[in-house]
Amino acid sequence: MATQTKPVLHGYFRSSCSWRVRIAFSLKGIEYDQVPVNLIKDGGQQMTEQYQELNPMKQVPAVEIDGITLSQSLAVIQYIDETRPGPRLLPADPKARAQVRMISDLIASGIQPLQNLYVLQKIGAEKAEWAQHFIHRGFQALEPILKKTSGKYCVGDEISMADICLVPQVYNAERFKVDVEQYPTIKRINETLLETEAFKVSHPSRQPDTPADLRA
């Protein structure tokens, strides 16, 4: 699908969901513009009426692409996979594709929402313990799944949407002092992915809105 206007990603440097989209754009070689949405400043810029028109859930990301606005990272990833050339982000084989979706949903629905900023703000003083609990719970399920599905990456030897979901989640786990050594398959795949260019350039430490003290 030929387009004349670059996609616009409204996101936050440390948002897992925004990072997923950045990875996908990088893997596909898609040029895009970024509009930072600071989730902390001014009570959260995602709460403004202007941003709510882009994403009624008041979350990041929101992606303007091909005349529409998409607001769920997995929907964005699957859309660009279906409309842009480049490496497939979902395998052609139905069984492998189902495994990719299973792993992606496990992370995107079963782990990440329970330790995102909005939820942790509601938890209060015990937010670190809360986040650690749900990350461990998810990783305890994910580790044996990956032992069965993985090759070099989450599903076989090609990078997929599952890998796009994995790396930001491991980053969050490390932020919350989760011992990833307990999950050797997760750790191995994550370390391999972090050596690839798409994951490097999309990293939270290298974004336009990354604070100076967090830049790599």
**3-class state of residue 98 by DSSP:** helix
Task: Give me the CATH topology for the region 94-199.
Answer: Glutathione S-transferase Yfyf (Class Pi); Chain A, domain 2 (1.20.1050)
Summary mean pLDDT of the chain: 95
Instruction: Name the pLDDT band for 194 (thresholds 50, 70, 90).
Output: very high
Top pLDDT among 123 and 193 is at 193
Pick from 194, 100, 192: nearest CA to 155:
100
Cis omega before residue 56 (within 30°)?
Answer: no
Given this model, what pLDDT does residue 11 score? Answer: 97
Helices (H), the chain: 16-28, 49-54, 73-83, 94-110, 117-123, 127-149, 161-175, 184-193, 197-201
pLDDT tens column, 106-150: 999 999 988 888 888 888 888 899 999 999 999 999 999 999 999
Task: Give me the CATH topology for the region 8-87.
Answer: Glutaredoxin (3.40.30)
What percent of the chain has pLDDT above 90?
A: 88
**Residue 201 token pair:** 């350039």
Q: Where in the chain is the domain with CATH 1.20.1050.10?
A: 94-199
pLDDT tens column, 164-179: 999 999 999 999 999 9
Q: Where in the chain is the domain with CATH 3.40.30.10?
A: 8-87
